[in-house]
């Protein structure tokens, strides 16, 4: 497993793999790029600068606070930057809403932003006490508190195991159920630390538990699968799909999606002949993921788990 980012880092946002993203997307005049997770708009500002004078960007984010800050940062680009609150799982709908039939590039930066981690009221961080929230979109009803305090022990263990790859999922779930109600982030983190034992490890013992709950609250993995499929739909031929992931579950989904969409035949291997008549939709550009340099990691610890994968939309027959 690739360790998730350390929750303790709340330094100002630095775009991860910034040069590599711009190189992969290669934005220029007239380009149309969708940033499906605009966050603090670090990548978006670079894309709009590189695509002057008339390149356009559609920025999406489920987090209204992040979207407001992105809007302030991108205001100098005027109407070239269009922002919408929403998920990249509905990417094609958002593109159609502004009259974009096809685009030249799509970027997904799947990392949890420093802005979200640094606000204890959002409940993403266990380094400060806050409510067990963890919602990207604060208008949705389901919170981490609902999961922690109401799910069965079996369902909790399943979430921790499947979304956090937590080896002590059963023990942690059992302890959570016994300790209910649990209202605050630090209370949950301390409980997980007691169950897990020594904290003398590279990441905090509660990191995987918080990751799992966040993924479950926001439906992140299902949303990623839908977003990848919709990105392929809206990309023009030779358009690039660029994805930065920060843990093994996301990266595995992206890797498998790229592989499947780049294969000519999608028939089950037991069939003696091809019946699907499928043509590959993507060409994988990065056979192995691009990782940050040691220099970037030294300057920005958030980058250390990042993996960047790139694919190109093929001409369809």
Protein fold of 122-218: DNA polymerase; domain 1 (1.10.150)
Structure tokens at 87: 């998920």
Q: Which CATH class is domain 18-110+220-313?
A: alpha beta
All structural domains of the chain with their residue ranges: 18-110+220-313, 122-218
Whole-number pLDDT of residue 197: 79
Q: pLDDT in tens for each of the 317 residues of the chain?
A: 333 334 333 334 579 999 999 999 999 999 999 999 999 999 999 999 999 999 999 999 999 999 999 999 999 999 999 999 999 999 999 999 999 999 999 999 997 888 888 899 999 999 889 999 999 999 999 999 999 999 999 999 999 999 999 999 999 999 999 999 999 999 999 999 999 976 566 788 999 999 999 999 999 999 999 999 999 999 999 999 999 999 999 999 999 999 999 987 666 767 766 677 778 999 999 999 999 999 999 988 878 999 999 999 998 64
- Give the model's pLDDT for residue 274: 64
Distance between CA atoms of 132 and 225, rounded to whole angstroms?
26
> DSSP letters of 61-118?
ES-HHHHHHHHHHTGGGGGGEEEEES-GGGHHHHHHHTT-S-EEEEEEE-SPPHHHHH
């Amino acid at each position: 497993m690739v360790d998730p980012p350390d929750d303790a880092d709340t330094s100002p946002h630095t775009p991860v793999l910034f040069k590599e993203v711009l190189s992969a997307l290669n934005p220029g005049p007239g380009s149309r790029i969708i940033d499906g997770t605009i966050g603090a708009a670090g990548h978006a500002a670079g894309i709009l600068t590189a695509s002057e004078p008339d390149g356009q960007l559609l920025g999406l984010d489920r987090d209204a606070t992040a979207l407001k800050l992105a809007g302030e940062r991108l205001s100098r680009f005027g109407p070239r930057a269009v922002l919408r609150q929403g998920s990249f799982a509905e990417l094609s709908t958002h593109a159609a809403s502004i009259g974009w039939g096809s685009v030249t590039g799509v970027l997904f930066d799947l990392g949890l932003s420093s802005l979200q981690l640094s606000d204890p009221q959002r409940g993403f961080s266990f380094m400060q006490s806050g409510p067990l929230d963890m919602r990207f979109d604060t208008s949705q009803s389901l919170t981490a508190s609902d999961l922690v305090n109401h799910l069965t022990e079996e369902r909790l263990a399943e979430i921790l195991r499947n979304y956090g790859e937590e080896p002590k999922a059963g023990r942690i779930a059992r302890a959570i159920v016994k300790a209910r109600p649990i209202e605050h982030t630090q209370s949950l983190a301390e409980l997980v630390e007691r169950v897990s034992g020594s904290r003398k490890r590279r990441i905090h013992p509660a990191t995987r538990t918080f990751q799992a709950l966040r993924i479950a609250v926001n439906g992140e993995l299902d949303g990623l699968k839908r977003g990848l499929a919709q990105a392929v739909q809206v990309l023009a031929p030779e358009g690039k799909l660029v994805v930065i992931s920060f843990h093994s579950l996301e990266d595995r989904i992206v890797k498998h999606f790229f592989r499947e969409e780049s294969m000519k035949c999608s028939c089950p291997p037991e069939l003696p002949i091809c019946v699907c008549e499928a043509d590959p939709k993507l060409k994988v550009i990065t056979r192995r993921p691009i990782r940050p340099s040691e220099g970037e990691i030294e300057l920005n610890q958030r980058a250390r788990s990042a993996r960047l994968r790139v694919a190109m939309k093929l001409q369809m027959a």
